[in-house]
Amino acid sequence: MSVLLETSLGDITIDLHYEKAPKAAENFLKLCKIKYYNFVLFHNVQKGFMAQAGDPTATGRGGESVWGLRVIHGASRRYFIPEIHPKLKHKTKGTVSFATAETNEAGLPVAGSQFFITLSDNHLDYLDGKQAVFGKVVEGLEVLDEINRAMCDDDGRPYRDIRIKHTIILDDPFDDPEGLVVPDRSPIPTADMLKTARIAEDEELVPDLPPEELERREREQEAAARAITLEMMGDLPFAEIKPPENVVFVCKLNPVTRDEDLEIIFSRFGTILSCEVIRDQKTGDSLCYAFIEFDNKESAEEAYFKMDNVLIDDRRIHVDFSQSVSKLHYDFMRGERRQLADGEGYGGSRGLERRRKYRDEDERHEDYDLVFEHGDDLDAEKQRVKRVK
């Protein structure tokens, strides 16, 4: 005795334990026969545990047994007492059980229409004796894996709807309850069911944009992710850093080239605020690259266009903008905090700037201190503290 569930992710075939759990098997079969589960969501997916369905309201509080339908017995028989057979256990992935909702007057667990399918290969022994096993998945385990991979919210509801689209009974040995009305075709979803929709299976998660725009967005997302990674590794002071436009990176220098030499050569393009050949901290040897900071963007651009591949000290140098963030990293790691002459910049460096969407556009200059307050002359105060000690 089997039932085929056609879901939005694929087909699932369930064999029913009609001999050990006849009442539960009959309830499930007849609900499938009247298309009760059509358009019903898997409203609760717990990764590596179970996927729950069978509630037309998708709240976890709805549903009724086949005997609780108005055309049969009504609300007085909303729940039924399912069999909890000692030999039917939650041992493997694909075990199908009714979710027991409450206890009746005799203290026995009862169920309605809600059921769940286990997603774990392990024996979930803490469910044995509490939930009513009535079947097992014999085909469609790969569909269960797809359900298990679904992205869900904090309540376990998948963001993209996973629905039972249709149910097909492959074998039914039970007589229909008196008054059961079997539709001749699949019913139209109710208004309440339609309200449960989130992202449909055929709905695009990515907006319909030109390929160029999609590629641009992907590059931006990838760059942002890399920046955050570099910040975590300590290679950037903060993820939103943007390269200063007035700094050029010069590499392939001759080891004998000095700061003064570069400053004289590059000063023809404008006022230089700083010119520094980067050296090994231990040996003092040149690392053969430098950073030159101009007082404006235009001077840096002119130097970039006119000095690339120029011969200096028998070496053809390379000038670029792409590595200028490294100067900020170098300053950051050394702990340099230069005073601002014009009130611009971020974090004590004229070249440091947050992305514009995070910038504070007003020009308030407020002083803050974390531990203690001091006067404007911090160096003098430090000396005074030393003398007191």
Tens of pLDDT, residue by residue over 12-44, are: 999 999 999 999 999 999 999 999 999 999 999
pLDDT at residue 349 greater than cutoff 50 = no
| CA distance to 55, 221, 353, per residue, from 159 (Å) | 17, 21, 37
Structure tokens at 307: 């000095």
What does the pLDDT average to over 252-276? 93
Residue 137 burial (10 A CB sphere; 0-12, 13-18, 19+):
buried
Q: Which CATH superfamily is domain 247-363 in?
A: RRM (RNA recognition motif) domain (3.30.70.330)
pLDDT at 199: 82
In the structure, what pLDDT confidence band is assigned to residue 187 with cuts at 50, 70 and 90? confident
Tokens representing 53 are 């369905």
Q: In this model, does residue 225 exceed pLDDT 70? A: no
Which of 270, 274, 387 lies closest to 331 in space, CA to CA?
Answer: 274
Tell me, what's the pLDDT at 147? Answer: 96
Residue 213 vs residue 361, higher pLDDT: 213
119 neighbors 48 (Cβ within 8 angstroms): yes
Count the residues in the chain: 389
Residue (of 98, 92, 91) closest to 29 by Cα position: 98
pLDDT of 372 above 80: no
- Domain made up of 2-195: CATH architecture: Beta Barrel (2.40)
Look up the pTM and report it: 0.54
Of residues 244 and 335, more confidence is placed in 244
Residue of higher predicted confidence among 239 and 242: 242
